[in-house]
Structure 1
């Protein structure tokens, strides 16, 4: 009988102890423990320097009109007030529009929305500042405000010109089709409702500059705007962001105003100034997700296949452009979702209204386009008498096709993903059971929907698709990491640190990510468009590869070996080609040796996304590097007497490529679904006929809570590597899963449609509150009787 030795060689022993926390590991968020214990430091937790002052703004009391007089005498004389500023006191640029002009720091002679900032006060306490602003005496020449999309369309009021995309001849295809359909959908916006409100803390620097701590997704933009407002070179302003208590797009552009105001005061008074918006001011003064009013005309065949589509989208932009041009573009890009429209014309309007300027929000216009795609497919299914899932599958893109903006359809494996979820969640059996339930129950109705996601990844403005990183190795083997991405709870710092650990094959505990800072990595792009890991992960990888190349070159010279004989394995550098005789040197020992031999242990890394381009003049190109896929099956139950409902179950299968961190990715998917569901069911923005925001607090605006989570909630990752050369062939996870909430809205429509035997596609604008659901039920009852 042969005998095999069980002796474990040193090489094998080390291979059995892999470095901890590399890319692909299920690792906890780097600040998870601090979040739970309350020890994570946000800006309002920082110890305040001696002499710190507190700023707030005075707001308009009308939505539109001229300012005839502004008497601030009583404000200046109020207890604790140290200084008051208006637009005339701004030393440099007075307009802080992020892309296009139109966003003055304070109203410039004309009020454009109810609550617009007119002036700012700084006082010894926050409470004194808040009381002081109420003493202002303002007289106006009030003018009728524009408050709705339809009014703006009628009056041709736009913040930017319309844009259109076209493929083939939509009108001819629709007119020649066997069946024509038309419809519309009003999709309301959404309040960001981040846990940490807008806040900035400005410290005067000895050279006349400013050090600004700011809760912002775009520190470099804040730096640039503060410098312009103060009439300083950009290098005199430093902006630092360690973490945000949520952002969701609401801190991409709209954090800048408060940072600029705090910085003006700090420089004028040479004292630290904190500016924090309380919850109600935050909701009144900052923009939200855009409402959209969408209309379509479709030509289809008898099987439900789309032959032509004429689609019009109109965004509720507010008083200024902000990011609305790109947001409406994104809605136009995604109005096809996963479906081949064949011959298509898509036009997008940017409607000006006398409301706060709306801004970026998770999905950046994509959700407002994608829900309309799903609404159209449901309408087709009801019209031809088929299961909506079958109609969706029949209209899926195929590889080799192209979109209505000219991007080729490649690596389109969404049908495979949908097929897998359909089997895993027992869609067909549940559909049959629900049909029977609805037949047997007069007042309770259930609905089911399985909807796909195809979401493009990249900033649609090309130059934003770049990132930098800074990596230092210290002589104890620890690594310092800094990059341009910001941490808002999504786990970006954790993922990029995992990339660094992976590249050097060292424990994650040896990598420390520091606060995002404009004096470490300059000219950064915002952390938005789901691009944080893609861009910053690649930039950090590039820096690590440069350092590894230096270290390998040193090892070649020092040990007289080939490059292939130098390997980074399990917190060691292994020198030698033979496994048994190779020399194992701890990473710390090796980098100390490199330092002693004058090898630089610090470098920057850089990455720019390849392949992407879009020509707006021809409305064609490749605006997205790749697409993230996913699908969600949602089941609901509706009480047709009251319109009340509950979500019984949700099953999600989502594509993140080769996951950088499955634990964080699944958490992001779960949270995104709940946030998307909230947008479409409970969260309702309301203004009165004077333009005053009525949903201005947690008492009047309903975000989802733990009780809204489906009792049966299943999330799985679709394990397939990204075909594009992303960081370790992963895919973005920030925005795409938000659209899974659309399945809940489609399931509600499905339940209501059962009232009329699935022959009518009920009107159901969003959010689908119980009142709107009840109205849809009544509509179906009346139509079925007719």
Structure 2
């Protein structure tokens, strides 16, 4: 037991398995081929243009926002006189420049102010904006704006603070019920209770919030790093009281979004647009990294309490969940987030009787917002913790409990949607086989028997992710197709490119529909004067929606070309196009798609809420150092059902990227705050995100074969968000390793591990004589570790 085996150094290795269906390699059939991302070369060489790369123009001004230095306070006075004396500083904008009604904003509820007038409720509140001829002058001016406050109490930072003060948004808790939970508990053989806590996660996109606006006569053009340009234009329209047709919002690409740029960029883009319009000058702004991390909002910290009843065999009969999510100081889109949380607490398991209470906690933190997975990863983690708790209580393997309770074809969820084309069992069995799970489980146990201070863990985790905005009005998309005389095609859609490959996939869809080479098609940018009233590029559904709109536009144009094709059957695309032009046939077409209506009724808890589900299973093996708390991911195997992939290279990249982002969330990314609501972990020096060395040493990703999806474009499936939760396979493998260490120490194998599983938490969970000398422990303080007193 005290001897240690030599741990072999593993060489990084990986495999990517997918099927290319078009064996004939027809040039025009671009869908299903691993085509390179159309911007890849530009991005790799630095030629790709982002918002702040736009060349400066004469008379341009630079804007710096003045943020509140208090989390909860009354504004006594704002004095910008010293700032206006700085050479180069030309203006200061504040609430005094907008009347009360025009100063309101918010994506759903108008519960935010563009510029705070009387009070501030978090350090993300904007007091005003300094406009100067240079960034340095604007920075100096911003620091000279004097704001006097009267501090207000309480300052609510943590979920515990919110619960103790009963600080919840109106209309919450939101309650979802199915069956009779109390009766089922009465008749259950066993009942256990527990809780799961997960912290905030910073988006840490490479491009921080940025915006650029110019006024041309009485028109306004806005370029911003946002996933929802239409919403920015709408807010500016309301603030300036000018119609939307005189405002154009554009996005060529953004440097990562992950949901963080769906709604929050308005705090910068709207003031920039207002300044450009009022001063009749071009205005640009970029948040510094520390500013961005303080004000842009995070993944919602969450506390979930569960109570579960089950039979002697391990069949779950009932479950009750209480979900507390830290929404921050405004609603933003947290109401939509908690709805997804409520309907994903089942993860992959049939629970006949369910009761879920969802609380949105109102705190003096920056307004938390969308993040890849949008509420689901927190809920599904509770489900996985619960499953493993049941297994421990019955002294059975968690694999057995999962298989007993796993959804099958035709199962009903707790919101009564029937599962069709359910490939969970296939993904589960294929992952077990491809990862050689059972043999490796034996090897892990053997390793742990011979090593005291290094322990291995290995686990399997399944996932089921619903694809839909969950709101009918957002389930629509438009496209504009322009064909030129030389046969080249310019395509415009309402979605934006943030590295996820949406533009590439839409080019492939158009090429296949038009039956031409994909190199003839180009997408330049998203612009609200090309495709109006667009939904945000979010919820992993953009390929589904815009793909259908693109096909409709292509079919319209093909029908116009059909007579010329019939007249010249041996001709080519270019011949038919020029012939149509000569004969004065329109070579532009629009496409529009409205997804089938969501039939779910929350009053009766029935009907279909989602278009379909994306499934997957991951197996991860880790090794931990019981003396330092460090860990390493030795191997991860993923089997993902993405239907018939539009582009398997991009989809596998999305699976790998989502997994690594989830890995950061569950193991190392920890936001730390002061009791006054200040983010103390601002910047990469204080906030650790995964690096190259954190990638699993062996990383195998396989796309499930023969799993078409009739509910989406060309039988594909959404892929952006669903794989993120599979990173909990690492978290639970770490718990597996810690459990082995605790048994060696003579400690109880049962323990609570909050996410993220940082080095400190892993070390303290591996209880021994050393850890017992450390006081106070988290048990003694009762406070979350991420609040520094």
| 1:588 aligned onto 2:574 | yes
| 1:739 aligned onto 2:739 | no
Structure 2 residue corresponding to 1:300, chosen from 286, 289, 310: 310
After the TM superposition, which residues 532-681 of structure 1 pair with which residues of structure 2 at under 5 Å, given as runs? 532-553=542-563, 555-556=565-566, 559=567, 583-681=569-667
Structure 1 residue corresponding to 2:201, chosen from 187, 190, 212: 190
| Paired residue secondary structure (2:320) | strand
Residues 423, 641 of structure 2: 8 Å contact kept:
no
Structure 1 residue corresponding to 2:714, chosen from 711, 720, 728: 728
- The CA deviation string for residues 595-617 of structure 1, in whole angstroms up to 9 with x for no partner, is 21222111100111215233234
Q: What stretches of structure 1 of length at least 5 have no aligned partner?
A: 1-14, 560-574, 576-582
2:96 corresponds to: 88
Report deviation, 1:21: 6.8
| Paired residue secondary structure (2:305) | strand
| 1:70 aligned onto 2:78 | yes
| 1:762 aligned onto 2:747 | no
Report deviation, 1:642: 2.2
After the TM superposition, which residues 301-700 of structure 1 pair with which residues of structure 2 at under 5 Å, given as runs? 301-553=311-563, 555-556=565-566, 559=567, 583-700=569-686
Residues 554, 599 of structure 1: 8 Å contact kept:
no
After the TM superposition, which residues 220-235 of structure 1 pair with which residues of structure 2 at under 5 Å, given as runs? 220-235=230-245
| 1:33 aligned onto 2:41 | yes
Residues 756, 781 of structure 1: 8 Å contact kept:
no
- Larger deviation, residues 670-679 vs 91-100: 91-100
| Paired residue secondary structure (1:82) | strand
Closer/same/farther in 2, CA of residues 672 and 357 from structure 1, 3 Å limit: same
- The CA deviation string for residues 569-604 of structure 1, in whole angstroms up to 9 with x for no partner, is xxxxxx6xxxxxxx4201101111122122211110
| 1:140 aligned onto 2:173 | no
Structure 1 residue corresponding to 2:180, chosen from 160, 166, 169: 169
Aligned residues: 744
Report deviation, 1:88: 2.1
Closer/same/farther in 2, CA of residues 176 and 530 from structure 1, 3 Å limit: same
Distance 2:289 2:63 in 1: 15
Distance 2:741 2:529 in 1: 62
Distance 1:434 1:392 in 2: 21
Report deviation, 1:698: 1.1
Residues 341, 376 of structure 2: 8 Å contact kept:
yes
| 1:55 aligned onto 2:63 | yes
Distance 1:632 1:389 in 2: 13
- Larger deviation, residues 598-607 vs 15-24: 15-24
Report deviation, 1:782: 10
| Paired residue secondary structure (1:469) | strand
- The CA deviation string for residues 3-46 of structure 1, in whole angstroms up to 9 with x for no partner, is xxxxxxxxxxxx97731671111111000000111000111111
Structure 2 residue corresponding to 1:242, chosen from 229, 233, 252: 252
Distance 1:744 1:449 in 2: 8
1:564 corresponds to: none
| Paired residue secondary structure (1:599) | coil
Residues 178, 415 of structure 2: 8 Å contact kept:
yes
Distance 2:478 2:579 in 1: 28
Closer/same/farther in 2, CA of residues 464 and 761 from structure 1, 3 Å limit: farther
Residues 149, 351 of structure 1: 8 Å contact kept:
yes
Give the TM-score normalised by the residue count of structure 1.
Answer: 0.92
2:128 corresponds to: 119
Residues 681, 766 of structure 1: 8 Å contact kept:
yes
Report deviation, 1:779: 8.5
Distance 2:617 2:768 in 1: 30
RMSD across aligned positions (CA) = 1.8
Report deviation, 1:555: 4.4
Structure 2 residue corresponding to 1:771, chosen from 753, 760, 769: 760
Report deviation, 1:780: 12
Closer/same/farther in 2, CA of residues 767 and 119 from structure 1, 3 Å limit: same
Residues 636, 744 of structure 1: 8 Å contact kept:
yes
Q: What stretches of structure 2 of length at least 5 have no aligned partner?
A: 1-22, 773-789
Report deviation, 1:209: 2.2
Closer/same/farther in 2, CA of residues 234 and 780 from structure 1, 3 Å limit: farther
Residues 124, 296 of structure 2: 8 Å contact kept:
no
Distance 1:595 1:521 in 2: 24
Distance 1:614 1:95 in 2: 32
| Paired residue secondary structure (1:220) | helix
| Paired residue secondary structure (1:248) | coil
- Larger deviation, residues 755-764 vs 93-102: 755-764
Residues 709, 717 of structure 2: 8 Å contact kept:
no
Give the TM-score normalised by the residue count of structure 2.
Answer: 0.92
1:273 corresponds to: 283
| 1:157 aligned onto 2:157 | no
| Paired residue secondary structure (1:159) | coil
2:698 corresponds to: 712
Residues 75, 81 of structure 1: 8 Å contact kept:
yes
